[in-house]
Amino acid sequence: MTTTAKKNDIQKLQRAIVDGLEDVKAQDIVVFDTENLSALFERVIVASGTSNRQTKALAASVRDAVRDAGFAKPRVEGEVNGEWIIVDCGQAVVHVMQPSFRTYYNLEELWGEKPVRLKLGVAKPAPVAKAPVTAAAAKPATTLRRSNAAKIGVAEAFPSRAQAAKTAAAKAAAAKRDAVKAAAPAAKTAVKKVVVKTAAVKKVAAKKVAAKKTAPRQA
């Protein structure tokens, strides 16, 4: 694949993902170019959902939009609880998070070196009319989709790409907490030194005042 073709392919995938998120009213959609940060994927996309139901719906919408755009069916992790769902779309990894989890892990700081400008709310072409499908023919596909969705969860083995992103975010958050903890003793020591020094200065000043009061006055 040529460089131009690869770029077009990534942009097409990115557009499909964003469309899937917008279809279910995702909040605060951001896209980051991670080509120079990781050899595992070239885009990280983060979006918020306000409830477990919405995050699950967002992940399902992304999965369907990517597949309908002609790409391989993404793998999904985290649908069981819906607090943080990862959709691995190959060249792109999508993080659908509830606001509290998004704030805590702060993926924007981890992957946000090179944000990608988005055109949100782009009008979509009208769908091509399809021949009517009988209920008997549609039932197996619907049943299969529901069955597959029910089987996908946190306990399922997940590809290293998405897991690497989640692990990196967790490590970054842990490193911040460790740095704060490590700095705490030094800060306390510094405060103690200031307190001791201040007390010593006050003591010296008090002695000088007392000495002046007790010193005999010159005639």
17: domain CATH number?
3.30.460.10
Distances (CA, A) of 145 to 35, 138, 214: 32, 11, 95
| Domain presence at residue 187 | no
Among 53, 75, 98, residue whose Cα is nearest residue 149: 75
23 vs 177 pLDDT, higher one: 23
| Domain presence at residue 203 | no
| Domain presence at residue 127 | no
Global confidence as pTM: 0.58
What is the chain's Cα-based Rg?
29
pLDDT computed for residue 153 by the predictor: 35
Please, what is the average pLDDT of the chain?
75
Among 194, 30, 55, residue whose Cα is nearest residue 116: 30
The stretch 81-102 carries a mean pLDDT of 94
| Domain presence at residue 193 | no
| Domain presence at residue 188 | no
Structure letter (DSSP) for residue 194? H
CA–CA separation, 95 and 47 (whole Å): 6
Neighbours of 61 (CB within 10 A): 21
Among 104, 113, 95, 124, residue whose Cα is nearest residue 28: 95
Strands of the sheet with 84-88, listed across from one edge: 75-77, 84-88, 92-97, 43-48, 27-33, 115-116
| Domain presence at residue 23 | yes
**pLDDT tens readout for residues 99-126:** 999 999 999 888 888 888 876 654 454 4
Among 72, 63, 99, 77, residue whose Cα is nearest residue 165: 77
146 vs 202 pLDDT, higher one: 202
166 vs 42 pLDDT, higher one: 42
Among 102, 100, 121, residue whose Cα is nearest residue 166: 102
| Domain presence at residue 34 | yes
CA–CA separation, 53 and 145 (whole Å): 18
How many structural domains comprise the chain?
1
| Domain presence at residue 190 | no
Domain coverage including residue 10: 3-122+138-179
